Structure 1
Amino acid sequence: MDQFSAGKSAVAAGLKILVVDDNVDAANMFAMLIQFEGHDVRTAFNGAQAIESVQAFTPDAVFLDISLPDMTGYRVAEQLRRIPALDKAMLVAMTGYSDEDHQARSEKAGFDHHVVKPADHAYVMQLLDQAACRR
């Protein structure tokens, strides 16, 4: 059994996930790994696309980069938290920033979790299990 098969979760299967990162290759690779686990995944590459995507898609979880070209991930998270349809959605900051200041800013902006890149696949699966329980 390979490392990805071992991580599959029956609880979290079929979630709607939005991956937001201005690094197109990183976003697409992360999205493919989550799709492999049986989820419906969409990608966005800036804050405006993320906000537009959630209007039609209503994800269960959003993995959101902090450094985006048009606005910060903090600002995007604050705007997403104002959308009533996303009140149960899990917001996960995906960033290279690991210091306490950025973690505090993530929490203040409405993120549920602050994950430093590269994200551990098993930990991401645990987060998706949590997101499934929030539905």
Structure 2
Amino acid sequence: MKKLAPSIGSRVLIVDDNRDTADTTAMLLRMHGYDVAVAYDGRSALLKAKGYDPDVVLLDLSLPDIDGCAVAESMRKDGLDRAALIAVSGHGPDDEAWAHPCFSDHLVKPVAKDDLVSLLARVRPEKSCPS
């Protein structure tokens, strides 16, 4: 496995209600040198983001309590402006959530590990949500 060096300060928050997916992704990213936190629902993600201050958020769009797009909007309203928000969904690019302005990138489940690591190596926070 080729190990890519993460950007300095690469803190990744993984938000996914599928615990196996979230935990496996966290383990993979830790093996690549990322500092990782995990939340399994939208409310927990909002709380964790405030204290963790991630550089990147991998955000499942289909959460049981709060829609992923609403979580992204709340994160932006709560002042998480610098983090890159990446939508993760089982739906393809024809899903209207892909056009949501909060997300800098999108990944389709199941996410290939090489695609994820490659994206994280080049992602830069720059998107914001309309107020």
1:33-112 matches, within 5 Å, as 33-84=28-79, 86-100=80-94, 102=95, 104-112=96-104
- Residues 74-109 of structure 1, C-alpha deviations (whole Å, 9 max, x = no match): 11011112233x222111111101141x2x423325
Residue number among 112, 115, 130 corresponding to 1:123 in the alignment:
115
Amino acid at match of 1:95: S
CA contact (8 A) 2:5 2:33 kept: no
In the alignment, the residues of structure 1 paired with residue 111 and residue 54 of structure 2 have an alpha-carbon distance, to the nearest angstrom, of 20
SS of the aligned residue for 2:118 comes to helix
For structure 2, the residue ranges without an aligned partner over 5 or more in a row are: 127-131
In the alignment, the residues of structure 2 paired with residue 92 and residue 113 of structure 1 have an alpha-carbon distance, to the nearest angstrom, of 5
Equivalent in the alignment of 2:10: 15
TM-score, structure 1 as length reference = 0.84
CA contact (8 A) 2:6 2:32 kept: no
RMSD of equivalent CA atoms: 1.9
Amino acid at match of 2:51: A
The alpha-carbon deviation at position 128 of structure 1 amounts to 1.4
The alpha-carbon deviation at position 48 of structure 1 amounts to 0.1
Relative to its length, the structure with more helix (as a share) is: 1
Equivalent in the alignment of 2:129: none
CA contact (8 A) 1:28 1:43 kept: yes
SS of the aligned residue for 1:80 comes to helix
The alpha-carbon deviation at position 113 of structure 1 amounts to 1.0
1:27 is the counterpart of 2:22: yes
In the alignment, the residues of structure 2 paired with residue 71 and residue 16 of structure 1 have an alpha-carbon distance, to the nearest angstrom, of 23
User: How many residue pairs were aligned?
Assistant: 126
- Residues 43-101 of structure 1, C-alpha deviations (whole Å, 9 max, x = no match): 100000000001100000011111111011111011112233x222111111101141x
Q: Percent identity?
A: 37
TM-score, structure 2 as length reference = 0.86
